Amino acid sequence: MKYFVVDAFTENIFGGNPAGICVLEKSLDETLMQNIAKENNLSETAFVYKEQNNYCLRWFTPGGEIDLCGHATLGTAYVIANFVDKNVKVMKFSTKSGILTVEKKGELFEMDFPSRMPKKIDAIDKVADVIGIKPLETHLSRDLVALLESEEQVKNLKPDFVKMKQLNIGLGVVVTAKGQKEDFVSRYFAPELNVNEDPVTGSSHSSLVPFWAERLGKQHLVARQLSERGGVLVCENAGERVKISGSAVLYMVGEINL
């Protein structure tokens, strides 16, 4: 099968978040897809094939399948628009999170994702023990969201991944704060999925966008993920949906032999 590696949410190679994209003719056995994801050893490997007018899309981490992934969706849209259907402007993906639409707008790909406003929970002390800083608030949707005081705290955080793996609250842990230049910043950790830190996480912004839109009183936001690679996300709060846009750059084209 054709295999691509795309750096998503960046204009520069070695930036953003790398995603493996496997272009298929039909669906594969789940165990085989999981083994490919383990072998690729990226935070996400996407598997996509055309079915009538839509594309079927699934995402696998080295530790298992997940229900929503932003950077691998962006990477998949980039591959389709540049190598599979060069005239396409709007792509519809059938996924475990329903139909996701991606629209090519110049150099940006705008993804239409479900909005997942996190609900406030009392986990401040548990999270403080894991991340070494007492958060101002803790919230939960798919992921555990910890609100910190400053961008510097987010940037310099050194969590205990052994303790985090045993936390068992949410799929991953998001730390976030108001940004100095951007509207907000974040980092994302998912040791239960064998991904200690994900470089840029589009799916976490399904929660972060409504979370910060409410706090900042604005619907259009720019976010930065403060991992070592880093990445920028252009976001819009749109009621029950969120729009998340970013650019991408090709790193590798190859073939997987099975």
| Set 25, 44, 51, 197: catalytic member | 44
C-alpha dihedral (165, 171, 177, 178), degrees to nearest 10: 160
What are the tokens at 234? Answer: 């252009």
Backbone angles phi, psi at 73, to 5 degrees: -70, -45
Rounded Cα distance, 241 and 28, in Å: 30
Q: What CA–CA distances, in Å, run from 146 to 106, 182, 186?
A: 34, 18, 10
- How many residues belong to the chain? 258
What are the tokens at 147? Answer: 């609100």
Rounded Cα distance, 225 and 228, in Å: 9
Q: What CA–CA distances, in Å, run from 175 to 80, 163, 188?
A: 32, 16, 7
Angle at 51 between CA 48 and CA 53, to 5 degrees: 110
According to DSSP, the β-strands at 173-178 and 144-147 are parallel
Please choose, from the candidates 175, 182, 174, 177, the residue with its C-alpha nearest in 3D space to the C-alpha of residue 220: 182
Instruction: Verify whether residue 44 is a known catalytic residue.
Output: yes
Rounded to an integer, what is the distance from CA 23 to the centroid of its chain?
A: 20
C-alpha dihedral (70, 210, 171, 96), degrees to nearest 10: -50
Q: Which residues are catalytic?
A: 44
